[in-house]
Amino acid sequence: MIHSLFLINSSGDIFLEKHWKSVVSRSVCDYFFEAQERATEAENVPPVIPTPHHYLLSVYRHKIFFVAVIQTEVPPLFVIEFLHRVVDTFQVTNVGTSFLLDSCPVIDAIIDKSGSTITAEIQGVIDACVKLTGMPDLTLSFMNPRLLDDVSFHPCVRFKRWESERILSFIPPDGNFRLLSYHVSAQNLVAIPVYVKHNISFRDSSSLGRFEITVGPKQTMGKTIEGVIVTSQMPKGVLNMSLTPSQGTHTFDPVTKMLSWDVGKINPQKLPSLKGTMSLQAGASKPDENPTINLQFKIQQLAISGLKVNRLDMYGEKYKPFKGIKYMTKAGKFQVRT
């Protein structure tokens, strides 16, 4: 009946998924996210959402959406009632037995005008939310721990075992805490997830300049780039800008000379662009340098650092905890020179 089940929190993060037949891509939830954006409140999201190949049926409980993927027509009330029972069971069996991880790498980079990487590094953290009864002893291993430089651990971590085996061994405190912070340097070939095509030109003795930029995905493993905001400090000689975005909204402050473009999500099939002209001071000389473009963005479920959890094992207690892992890549100081 139910092909797959996705659990989505109020921030739009898919933090748990279960598949019974074959794996359904998370992209099917894009239809749910679109309906969520159109709804004024979480409770107003339609409980049944048709897609080209599936039906999405959902219930909203405890600030979590439980979204079922159906491939054939079934009585919707039957599925919704089943989801409510799943929530009730989940609530009973997982009280005091959950271990949740957030892995949040932040990428800093400087890209030159030809698109080559000048510098790139990642500052990352892994935050934990633990609600485990008793005194569980945990071991956490990574698929590629050698990526980590300059690691800082929570005091609960047994450092000697990390030094000898590259395994995190610890008895966790209850609640929220930062398990570790780390650094990945450019020596490990940091992947750049976005690119910017640009054509910004000024001419001597001309009152007009040309401005054109396009933003696209580069190395995202098929994940969606969202929350994209582009800013640029324009030269003092720019009086105003007449620009047209293919999506999103933009502003230009003629006093501070700051351009801001709120792009939103990037659709790889229709890349967002911002094009137009710049009005310059009459007789002003050509600026010495073109402006730098700054980007903000986030990518759900992408560990751009390459650091991924291999397995989590628990000793000392007989119950099986609920384990969830969420990856989120964000831009830090991300600059593109033009």
* Backbone dihedral angles phi then psi of residue 147, each to the nearest 5 degrees: -65, -25
Q: What is the pLDDT of residue 96?
A: 58
Quote the mean pLDDT of the chain: 89
CB atoms within 10 A of CB 4: 23
Q: Please state the domain extents for the chain.
A: 2-93, 118-190+303-330, 194-300
CATH class, domain 194-300, is: mainly beta
Query: DSSP 3-state helix, strand, coil percentages of the chain (rounded to 5)?
Result: 15, 50, 35
CATH class, domain 2-93, is: alpha beta
CB atoms within 10 A of CB 83: 21
Q: What is the pLDDT of residue 90?
A: 62
Q: Are 122 and 107 in contact (CB under 8 A)?
A: yes
Q: What is the pLDDT of residue 334?
A: 96
User: 3-state DSSP call for residue 324?
Assistant: strand
User: Both tokens of residue 41?
Assistant: 């409140």
User: Which CATH number, 2.60.40.1170, 3.40.50.150, 3.30.1330.10, 2.30.30.90, labels domain 118-190+303-330?
Assistant: 2.60.40.1170
Q: List the chain residues with pLDDT less than 70.
A: 89-97, 186-189
Q: Are 270 and 263 in contact (CB under 8 A)?
A: no
**What pairs with residue 232 in β-bridges?**
259, 293
Do domains 2-93 and 118-190+303-330 share one topology? The answer is no
List the one residue out of 223, 144, 231 whose CA is nearest residue 182.
144
Q: What is the pLDDT of residue 94?
A: 46
Q: What is the pLDDT of residue 110?
A: 94
**Residues near 119 by beta carbon (within 8 Å), at least 6 away in sequence:** 108, 109, 110, 186
| Spatial separation of the C-alpha atoms in residues 137 and 120, rounded to whole Å | 36
